[in-house]
C-alpha cells in the first residue's frame, strides 16, 4: 500500500529534531565540558582569591544544585606559597545577599587561626570588599597545639561543631563565632562588633565609632590559638606549648582607649618557659585563676588572681628578691643547710590583689600563711601588709640594673628617650612632678 509522504513535512520534522534534540544535547554537553574544564576551575579560583586575598587551589568542582557548589581538595596558601589551610570538602551556597559555607572537618592550629582571624578582621574593616553576609558551619573541629606541623599526626584537642556568622546591619558589622559544647555545658562564643563604618569607593574603610568584644570560653582553648585570634605576635604569651585557657572578657575600644573586665583560668603553664625572659628562673607546672581583672583608659585598675604550683624548683635569688621587694618573710626552710642556689619545693600557692593600695600578696587560706613548702616546712611566708605597686619593678628587674627613683618626673623623662631601641612619644611634662624620692622610701 502506498503511503503518501510530504517533502515539506519531512523537512519540518528534521528541523524540529535538530532544534529540540540535537542542539540542546550539544549545548548541554558543551556546558558540562566547560564546567569541568581547567579554565573554569581557574576562573573560580581567581574569583575566590580576589575576595580572600590569598592563593587558593581547588582540586575538583561539583555542581550540586543551582547556586550551590561542592569544592574538593581545597588548599589555601600564604603569601610565601606554603599551604596554611587544607580542607577536603567545602560546600558553597550563595544568594543575592549571603554566602554559606559548610565544612565537614577542620584541623586548626595557631597558624590557621591567625589566617582565619585576619579574614574576619578584613570583613569587619572593608565593607566594600565584603558586601555580603557570610555564614560558615564546621561539623567537626579539632585544635592542634603550637609545636605540631600543619599536617601529620600529633596531639590535638577535639571540639564540637563551630558556626561563624558575619552580619552587617544598620551601618554596623559584627562577627559571631559559636562553638557547641557537650551536654550540660554552655556554648563558647566570641562576638566582635564594629560601629558605623565609612567607605570610600574602592578603598578599605577603617572602623569609626567603637569596637565591642565579648568572649566566653567554657572549654579550655590552646593559648597559642587565642594568641593568634587576638592578632598577637607568636610567643607574646610565652607560657608553654601546652598552656590552655578558658574564661570570659568584655571590652570596649573607643577613642583610642580600652575599658572592660575579664576572668580567666589558665592551666598547664610551663614556668621554665614563662620565666625565660625574666632575671629569675623558675620551673614547674602552674595554674593561674584570674577571678577579676578590670581596666579603664587602657590601664589596669583592679586585679584579683590565684596561682598554684604542685612541684618545682626556684632560685634562691628570687626568694631573696621576694623578701626585699614585696616584703615576704623567710620561713624555717628559707635557706638549705648546704646553701643551695636552686631550691626544690613541693607546693606553692598565693593570692594576689592589685588595687589603689598597691599589691597585696597573700597565701592560700588553707596554708596558714605559707607561700611555698618543702618537706612540710615553710620556705616563704606572706608579707605583713600590702606594698606599693612600684615594687614589682624591683622584682622584675635584673640585679645589675641601675636604680632609678620612681616619680612622675622620672616617668615623663624616661618617656622622652629611646629605651631598648624603642622611642615613645613624650608626654606633656607634669606641672608639679615633685622631687624624686629615694628608693628606700617606696
DSSP secondary structure string for all residues of 276-344 = TTSSS-EEEEEEEEEEEEEEETTEEEEEEEEEEEEEEEEEHHHHHHHHHHH--EE-TTSS-TT--SEEE
Domain annotation covers residue 246 = no
Three-state SS string over 62-79 comes to EEEECCEEEEEEEEEECC
pLDDT in tens, the chain (442 residues): 445 567 787 778 777 776 777 777 877 776 666 666 677 778 888 888 887 888 889 888 888 888 888 999 989 888 777 888 888 999 999 888 899 999 988 888 888 888 888 889 888 888 888 888 999 999 888 877 654 444 444 455 666 788 999 998 878 899 999 987 766 667 889 999 987 644 433 333 444 568 899 999 988 888 888 888 888 888 788 898 889 999 999 999 888 888 999 999 999 999 999 888 888 889 999 999 999 999 988 888 889 999 999 899 999 999 998 998 899 999 999 998 888 889 999 999 999 998 888 899 999 988 889 999 999 899 999 999 998 888 887 787 776 666 666 667 766 666 666 444 443 444 444 443 333 333 333 2
Three-state secondary structure call for residue 31:
helix
Domain annotation covers residue 185 = yes
Domain annotation covers residue 37 = no
Domain annotation covers residue 249 = no
Same domain, 391 and 410: no
Domain annotation covers residue 90 = yes
Same domain, 427 and 376: no
Same domain, 105 and 228: yes
Same domain, 137 and 230: yes
Q: Treating both helix axes as pointing N-terminal to C-terminal, what angle do 23-35 and 38-52 enclose, rounded to 10 degrees?
A: 50
Three-state secondary structure call for residue 132:
coil
Are 279 and 399 in contact by the 8 Å Cβ rule? The answer is yes
Domain boundary among 234, 267, 289: 234
CA angle 94, 97, 103 (to 5 degrees): 40
Same domain, 309 and 421: no
Question: For 404, what's the count of Cα atoms within 13 Å in the CB-facing half-sphere?
Answer: 14
Which cell goes with 395?
622584682
Helix (H) or strand (E) holding 187: none
Same domain, 229 and 307: no
164 phi/psi in degrees, rounded to 5: -120, 125
C-alpha span between 149 and 156 (Å, rounded): 11
Same domain, 375 and 409: no
Domain boundary among 234, 266, 287: 234
The answer, as to whether pTM is greater than 0.85, is no
Q: Which residue segment(s) compose the domain that 428 sits in?
A: 404-442
Domain annotation covers residue 224 = yes
Helix (H) or strand (E) holding 26: helix 23-35
Same domain, 408 and 385: no
Same domain, 145 and 266: no
C-alpha span between 136 and 124 (Å, rounded): 16
Strand partners, 358: 355
CA angle 77, 79, 82 (to 5 degrees): 45
- Own/partner long-range contacts of 169-174 (Cβ < 8 Å, ≥24 apart): 171/195, 171/196, 171/197, 172/196, 172/197, 173/123, 173/124, 173/127, 173/197, 174/124
Domain annotation covers residue 213 = yes
Provide the number of structural domains found in the chain.
3
Same domain, 420 and 388: no
Q: Whose grid coordinates read 605583713? A: 384
Q: Find all residues with CB under 8 Å of 59, minimum gap 6, and list them.
A: 72, 73, 74
Amino acid at each position: 500500500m502506498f503511503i503518501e509522504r510530504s517533502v515539506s513535512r519531512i523537512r519540518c520534522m528534521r528541523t524540529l529534531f535538530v532544534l529540540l534534540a540535537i542542539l540542546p544535547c550539544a549545548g548541554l554537553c558543551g556546558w558540562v565540558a566547560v564546567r569541568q574544564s581547567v579554565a573554569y576551575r581557574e576562573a573560580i579560583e581567581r574569583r575566590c582569591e580576589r575576595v580572600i586575598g590569598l592563593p587558593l587551589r581547588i582540586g575538583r568542582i561539583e555542581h550540586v544544585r543551582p547556586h550551590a557548589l561542592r569544592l574538593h581538595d581545597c588548599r589555601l596558601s600564604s603569601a610565601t606559597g606554603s599551604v596554611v589551610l587544607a580542607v577536603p570538602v567545602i560546600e558553597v551556597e550563595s544568594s543575592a545577599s549571603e554566602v554559606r559555607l559548610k565544612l565537614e572537618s577542620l584541623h586548626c592550629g595557631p597558624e590557621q587561626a591567625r589566617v582565619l582571624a585576619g579574614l574576619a578582621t578584613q570583613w569587619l574593616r572593608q565593607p566594600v570588599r565584603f558586601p555580603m553576609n557570610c555564614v560558615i558551619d564546621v561539623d567537626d573541629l579539632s585544635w592542634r597545639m603550637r609545636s605540631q606541623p600543619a599536617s601529620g599526626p600529633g596531639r590535638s584537642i577535639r571540639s564540637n561543631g563551630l558556626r561563624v556568622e558575619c552580619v552587617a546591619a544598620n551601618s554596623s558589622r559584627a562577627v559571631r563565632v559559636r562553638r557547641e559544647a557537650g551536654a550540660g555545658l554552655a556554648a563558647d562564643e566570641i562576638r566582635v562588633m564594629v560601629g558605623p563604618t565609612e567607605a570610600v569607593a574602592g578603598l578599605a574603610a577603617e572602623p569609626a565609632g567603637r569596637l565591642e568584644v565579648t568572649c566566653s570560653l567554657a572549654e579550655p582553648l590552646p593559648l597559642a590559638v587565642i594568641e593568634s585570634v587576638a592578632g598577637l605576635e607568636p610567643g607574646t604569651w610565652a607560657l608553654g606549648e601546652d598552656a590552655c585557657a578558658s574564661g570570659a572578657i568584655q571590652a570596649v575600644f573607643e577613642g583610642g582607649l580600652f575599658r572592660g573586665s575579664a576572668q580567666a583560668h589558665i592551666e598547664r603553664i610551663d614556668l621554665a618557659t614563662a620565666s625565660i625572659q625574666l632575671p629569675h628562673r623558675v620551673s614547674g607546672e602552674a595554674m593561674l585563676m584570674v577571678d577579676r581583672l578590670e581596666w579603664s583608659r587602657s590601664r589596669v585598675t583592679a586585679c584579683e588572681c590565684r596561682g598554684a604550683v604542685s612541684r618545682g624548683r626556684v632560685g634562691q635569688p628570687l626568694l631573696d628578691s621576694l623578701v626585699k621587694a614585696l616584703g615576704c618573710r623567710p620561713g624555717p626552710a628559707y635557706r638549705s643547710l648546704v646553701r643551695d642556689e636552686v631550691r626544690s619545693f613541693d607546693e606553692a600557692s598565693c593570692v594576689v590583689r592589685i588595687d589603689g593600695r598597691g599589691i597585696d600578696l597573700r597565701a592560700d587560706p588553707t596554708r596558714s600563711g605559707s607561700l611555698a613548702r618543702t618537706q612540710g616546712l615553710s620556705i616563704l611566708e606572706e608579707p605583713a601588709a600590702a606594698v606599693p605597686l612600684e615594687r614589682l619593678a624591683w622584682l622584675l628587674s635584673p640585679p645589675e640594673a641601675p636604680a632609678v627613683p620612681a616619680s612622675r618626673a622620672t616617668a615623663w623623662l624616661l618617656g622622652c628617650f629611646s629605651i631598648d631601641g624603642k622611642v615613645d612619644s613624650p608626654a606633656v611634662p607634669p606641672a608639679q612632678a615633685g622631687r624624686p624620692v629615694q628608693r628606700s622610701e617606696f
